[in-house]
A and B are shown apart, each in its own frame.
Chain A
Amino acid sequence: MARDVHGMVEKRGAGLWLTHVFMILGVLVIFFPIWLAFVASTVSQPEIVSPPMPIWPGDQFWENYSKALFSGVNVPVTTMLFNSMVMAIGIAVGKIIISLLSAFAIVYFRFPGRNVFFWMIFITLMLPVEVRIVPTFEVVAGFGMLNSYGGLILPLIASATATFLFRQFFLTIPDELAEAARVDGARPMRFFWDIVVPMSRTNVAALFVILFIYGWNQYLWPLLITTDPEMNTIVMGIKQMFPSGDDVADWPVIMATSILAMIPPVIVVVSMQRLFIRGLVDSEK
């Protein structure tokens, strides 16, 4: 009987093949834009401007990629990649550090104003940078932080989500550990370094994956505050590579840049898949 039920629930034979066929079709459809971009990055400009473009990669791979990386359109892509890397790592590491510290303060201490501060952090959830762009821009300009890494990173660094995540996790740390630390006369910061931080390792790693991608994929903010091409990040810099007016864009180089812009976050997501999924579920729920 059990065997029959199993057969009814899990499809076999033709049904199973059909499922695979649909899955593969789905994957192909989702991959198609990336494939085309890759093909376009390996052919020459004349092949693209006389449509339809080829569907299989050509032989211009090195030409296009080296042109993109070392000369680019406004600025070499290596420069933009470096800027993106600084921004993404700066945001991820910065957010994790300030959130660990503030969550530790909120969970392990009773101090005046604790609830007010907690709510202040909570409310920042409701203030995405997109809705306060003009005044935030003015603040950053006032500090003279336009075209600087500080200007790229600091306004995006305060995150209620990460603080909540750590708070939630700290609350599950057994009280006995803090008790023992207190009996031993350990200072709070010693407890933080020796117990809390090592126990949070997995959460920190999962959050790092999510925040790295968040930082890497920022568009509006770098667009506003980096007017100097030398400070452009790769994600916002691609749009700047399109000519204004009627000139034809240098598609092979632009597509090579798009592929280069995808590689770091894709490597992070695919290689740390488990941590990524965990971070995603944790940070959204």
Chain B
Amino acid sequence: MEKRVTFRGWRLPLLLIAPQLIISVVFFFYPAAQAIWQSLFIPDPFGLSMKFVGLGNFEFLLSDKFYRASFVTTAIFSLLVTLCSMIPALFLAVLADRLIKGSGVYRTMLIWPYAVAPAIAGVLWLFMFNTRVGVVSWYLGQLGYDWNHVLNGGEAMGLVVVASAWGRISYNFLFFFAALQAVPRSVIEAAAIDGARFWRRFWTIVLPLLSPTTFFLLVVNIVYAFFETFGVIHTITAGGPQQTTTILVYKVFSDGFVGQDLGSSAAQSVILLFVVGMLTVVQFKFIEKRVHY
């Protein structure tokens, strides 16, 4: 879509667009180009010169068992975060949608956690499951279960998943609730006249009508789990134990800033750029498709 009526001149619009362009070039394009460039080199041990290695960093990464493990970890982590945040949200939204009165109050109560930063959510959950002072881990101990996410990789993963999914429930709830409110009453009532009970109506009518929202939330939650959960992992496990919670973004950070392995970190950035690019394409294909609904 284009405007029919426009203003003349080219100096003014260039001036108007300049701030955004300059910031994009300086803080987006140049660093991204830098990442691609650096990914082709390895620094010598003293950091004095760079040696060109072509795609060597990539070859090394793809054959590195820690990096491949990190891919698998990221996949499991984002799948679990997505499921653990979408299913409870859908359940709560269905309940809220059934209420004629009072759903606004519940909505206000439920949007709270959205405002809590992932890093703070990490601290709250760490506190509950802390091996020394945590309330939940203490009660688990009383029940005979020895909780220790510092040593047990599975428990560490469970904890970062729940802490990451927690705040997302609010977000998903809002979208599901809005979509449910938009389902035409007449369709539901027609099914009710035909004798379809609540759950049958839900599976055969409501859920298919929610599919655009569900798909949208799937993509958005995966993007969230990939990129925005750094704070949760950094506060709770710092990637451990034995890298069981080291997702890709965390590895870029720990190899680049902690390990000072710039070539490898840059190559990982490039791979991530590629992943983001694919996710963005999926997202936009989907939005294009939505227009035809």
Interface membership of B178, Cβ < 8 A = yes
Interface 1/0s, chain A 189-230, versus B by CB < 8 A? Answer: 101000000000000000000000100110110011000000
Evaluate contact between A120 and B21: CB separation under 8 angstroms: yes
- Provide the residues of chain A in CB contact with B198, threshold 8 Å: 11
Evaluate contact between B119 and A134: CB separation under 8 angstroms: no
Evaluate contact between A98 and B20: CB separation under 8 angstroms: yes
Given A101-B17, A128-B276, A265-B116, answer yes or no on A52-B138 (Cβ-Cβ < 8 Å).
Answer: yes
Evaluate contact between B12 and A134: CB separation under 8 angstroms: no
Interface membership of A109, Cβ < 8 A = yes
Evaluate contact between A52 and B135: CB separation under 8 angstroms: yes
Interface membership of A108, Cβ < 8 A = yes
Interface 1/0s, chain A 104-133, versus B by CB < 8 A? Answer: 111111111110010011001111101111
Given A27-B109, A130-B227, answer yes or no on A178-B31 (Cβ-Cβ < 8 Å).
Answer: no
Interface membership of B24, Cβ < 8 A = yes
- CB-nearest residue of chain A to B280: A126
Query: In the complex, A21 Cα to B177 Cα: how many Å?
Result: 18
- Provide the residues of chain B in CB contact with A213, threshold 8 Å: 114-115
Evaluate contact between B88 and A220: CB separation under 8 angstroms: no
- Provide the residues of chain A in CB contact with B20, threshold 8 Å: 98-99, 101-102, 121, 158, 163
- Provide the residues of chain A in CB contact with B114, threshold 8 Å: 213, 269
Interface membership of A146, Cβ < 8 A = no
Query: In the complex, A201 Cα to B225 Cα: how many Å?
Result: 33
Interface membership of B77, Cβ < 8 A = no
- CB-nearest residue of chain A to B189: A5
How many residues of A are counted as interface, with CB atoms below 8 angstroms from the partner's CB atoms? Answer: 103
- Provide the residues of chain A in CB contact with B112, threshold 8 Å: 30-31, 34, 266, 269-270
Quick one: which of B5, B113, B118 contacts A30, CB cutoff 8 A? B113
B9 to chain A, nearest CB (A): 7
- Provide the residues of chain A in CB contact with B10, threshold 8 Å: 109, 111-112
Query: In the complex, A173 Cα to B169 Cα: how many Å?
Result: 35
Given A48-B133, A138-B34, answer yes or no on A178-B115 (Cβ-Cβ < 8 Å).
Answer: no
Interface residue range, chain B: 35 or more
Interface membership of B143, Cβ < 8 A = no
Q: Which of B93-137 contact A (CB under 8 A)?
A: 95-96, 98-100, 102, 106-121, 123-125, 127-128, 132-135
Interface membership of B151, Cβ < 8 A = no
Interface membership of A175, Cβ < 8 A = yes
Q: Which of B207-262 contact A (CB under 8 A)?
A: 216, 220, 227-228, 230-231, 234-235, 249, 252-253, 256-257, 262
Evaluate contact between B119 and A30: CB separation under 8 angstroms: no
Interface membership of B65, Cβ < 8 A = no
Interface membership of A154, Cβ < 8 A = yes
Given A126-B276, A158-B20, answer yes or no on A23-B92 (Cβ-Cβ < 8 Å).
Answer: yes
B74 to chain A, nearest CB (A): 12
Evaluate contact between B119 and A135: CB separation under 8 angstroms: no
Evaluate contact between B117 and A26: CB separation under 8 angstroms: no
- Provide the residues of chain B in CB contact with A114, threshold 8 Å: 13
Interface membership of B29, Cβ < 8 A = yes
Evaluate contact between A33 and B124: CB separation under 8 angstroms: yes
- Provide the residues of chain A in CB contact with B256, threshold 8 Å: 133-134
Q: Which residues of B contact A (CB under 8 A)?
A: 1, 3-7, 9-10, 12-14, 16-17, 19-21, 23-32, 34-35, 38, 88, 91-92, 95-96, 98-100, 102, 106-121, 123-125, 127-128, 132-135, 138-139, 166, 169-171, 174-175, 178, 185, 188-189, 192-193, 198, 216, 220, 227-228, 230-231, 234-235, 249, 252-253, 256-257, 262, 265-266, 269, 272-273, 276-277, 280, 287
- Contacts A9-B192, A37-B123, A269-B111 supplied; 18 other A-B pairs, CB < 8 Å: A19-B98, A34-B113, A51-B132, A51-B133, A109-B6, A127-B273, A127-B276, A134-B38, A135-B30, A158-B23, A219-B118, A220-B231, A235-B120, A238-B119, A248-B133, A265-B117, A277-B178, A280-B171
A to B CB contacts below 8 Å, 23 in the list: A5-B189, A8-B189, A23-B92, A51-B135, A51-B138, A99-B20, A105-B12, A109-B13, A132-B273, A133-B256, A135-B32, A178-B3, A179-B5, A182-B7, A213-B114, A235-B119, A235-B120, A236-B119, A239-B234, A248-B132, A254-B123, A265-B115, A277-B178
